[in-house]
């Protein structure tokens, strides 16, 4: 699943290198002769000014040829440097790129190249480019951080949790590429497994370790105590038999010699049970019935 990882600056936006354009304004110049007096003897002067204006206008377009935009258009990419590569080779990444050495320098083309590199899924972060304009051409330097291959996935502190079950449920697996966003989802998955086992106070964290073969992902578990339901008290009932209410509830006390009733406490099921009881009362015609949680008591055995 990813966008991002800790410890490095992300490529949050496509780099744009705006150019500047210089335009010549002749408004002030034309005001000189338009606002002047015009008598019969000043006609030659007016014609002279008009000729000068035409000459000036005909010369103006040629100035853009020496402006900054023209200079940018004439620049050529002389070198592309890719830094931070490990698993992928420079030639391999260069072969995917459309911006090549010898192309004319175009900031928009570099912007699109960054988008292609990011959507390839091979990199965790891409730093903003370093663009150096030299006499021999433009040198582009790109710093990349690759997604590394997962060498191993381990669980520390797993006592009641089955490591084999956890490895089947998570999506970060050996020999797959490391995705920080996927690891976060896996962390929630491990917490859900512990809640099902009756560990409402469990805490889970992750860390990564660099190895020669790849990346090792370690889930650090503090399971906390396992909580079982000792007793469920229903207060204010009478219109509906208690046995009927218990039938729609998921949180029940343990049956020692039965199946499907472990008595493990999962706090996520509390609200579901309250909704089921409300639905039961409405179905029986008690539309104004109110159902709420009174009290939770945790005791050490």
Q: Which fold has domain 227-301?
A: Ubiquitin-like (UB roll) (3.10.20)
Nearest alpha carbon to residue 222 among 206, 202, 208: 202
Q: What is the pLDDT of residue 260?
A: 60
- Identify the residue with better confidence: 263 or 187: 187
CB 140 within 8 A of CB 131: yes
Give the CATH architecture of domain 150-222: Roll (3.10)
49 DSSP β-pair partners: none
CA 256 to chain centre: 47
Q: How far apart are CA 228 and CA 206, in angstroms?
A: 27
For position 60, what pLDDT does the model report? 40
122 has a pLDDT exceeding 50: yes
Q: Mean pLDDT lowest for which of 166-170, 201-205, 293-297?
A: 293-297
| CA dihedral of residues 75, 79, 80, 81 (deg, nearest 10) | -140
pLDDT per position as a tens digit, 235-248:
886 789 989 999 99
Instruction: Give the per-residue pLDDT at 257.
Output: 63
**At residue 90, does pLDDT exceed 70?**
yes
In this predicted structure, the answer to whether residue 10 has a pLDDT above a threshold of 50 is: no
Least confident of 8-12, 130-134, 292-296: 8-12
Given a contact cutoff of 8 angstroms between Cβ atoms, the answer to whether 97 and 113 are in contact is yes
CA distance 279 to 244: 12
Instruction: Kindly calculate the radius of gyration of the chain based on its CA atoms and give it in whole angstroms.
Output: 36
Q: What is the pTM assigned to this prediction?
A: 0.62
Query: What's the CA gap between 219 and 251, in Å, rounded?
Result: 29
Does the structure show a pLDDT above 70 at 267?
Answer: yes
What's the mean pLDDT in 88-116? 93
3-state DSSP: the chain helix, strand, coil percent, rounded to 5? 35, 20, 45
Q: Of 133, 15, 141, which is closest to residue 75 (Cα–Cα)?
A: 133
Please report the pLDDT score of residue 87 as a whole number. 83
pLDDT, tens digit (0-9, with 9 covering 90-100), for 147-165: 889 999 999 999 999 999 9
CB-based contact 117:95 (threshold 8 Å): no
Specify whether the backbone of 265 is left (phi greater than 0), alpha (psi in -120 to 50) or beta: beta
- Give the ranges where the chain is alpha helix by DSSP (H): 27-34, 43-64, 68-74, 90-96, 107-119, 163-169, 180-196, 242-247, 268-283
Query: Closest by alpha carbon to 143, among 189, 104, 86, 186?
Result: 86
49-72 confidence digits (pLDDT tens): 444 444 444 444 433 433 445 454
298 has a pLDDT exceeding 70 = yes
Residue 34 clears pLDDT 60, i.e. is over it: no
Helix (H, G, I), strand (E, B) or coil at 42: helix
The helix (run of H) or strand (run of E) holding residue 229 is: none
Task: Report the first-to-last Cα separation within the chain, whole angstroms.
Answer: 42
Half-sphere exposure of residue 172, counting CA atoms within 13 Å on the CB side? 31
Pick among 3.40.50.300, 3.10.20.310, 2.102.10.10, 1.10.4160.10: CATH of 71-146: 3.10.20.310
User: Which DSSP state fits 11?
Assistant: -
Instruction: Say yes or no to pLDDT of 6 above 70.
Output: no
Higher pLDDT pick, 96 / 257: 96
């Amino acid at each position: 699943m990813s966008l991002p990882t800790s410890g490095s600056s992300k490529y949050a936006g496509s780099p744009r290198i705006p150019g500047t354009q210089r335009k010549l304004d002749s408004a002030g110049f034309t005001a000189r002769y338009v606002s002047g007096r015009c008598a019969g003897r000043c006609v030659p002067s007016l014609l002279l000014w008009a000729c000068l204006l035409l000459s000036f206008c005909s010369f103006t377009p040629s100035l853009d040829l020496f402006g900054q935009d023209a200079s940018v258009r004439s620049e050529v990419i002389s070198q592309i440097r890719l830094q931070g590569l490990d698993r992928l080779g420079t030639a391999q990444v260069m072969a995917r790129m459309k911006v090549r050495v010898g192309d004319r320098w175009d900031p928009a083309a570099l912007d699109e190249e960054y988008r292609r590199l990011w959507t390839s899924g091979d990199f965790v972060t891409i730093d903003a480019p370093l663009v150096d304009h030299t006499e021999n051409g433009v040198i582009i330097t790109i710093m990349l951080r690759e997604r590394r291959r997962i060498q191993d996935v381990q669980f520390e502190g797993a006592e009641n949790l089955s490591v084999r079950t956890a490895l089947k449920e998570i999506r970060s697996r050996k020999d797959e590429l490391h995705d920080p966003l996927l690891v976060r989802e896996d962390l929630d998955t491990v917490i859900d497994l512990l809640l099902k086992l009756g560990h409402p106070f469990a805490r889970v964290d992750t860390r990564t370790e660099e190895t020669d073969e790849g990346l090792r992902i370690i889930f650090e578990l503090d399971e906390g105590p396992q909580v079982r339901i000792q007793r469920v008290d229903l207060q204010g009932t009478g219109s509906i038999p208690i046995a009927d209410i218990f039938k729609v509830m998921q949180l029940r006390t343990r049956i020692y010699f039965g199946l499907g009733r472990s008595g493990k406490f999962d706090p996520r099921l509390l609200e579901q049970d309250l909704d089921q009881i409300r639905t039961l009362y409405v179905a029986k015609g008690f539309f104004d019935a109110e159902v709420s949680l009174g009290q939770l008591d945790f005791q050490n055995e």
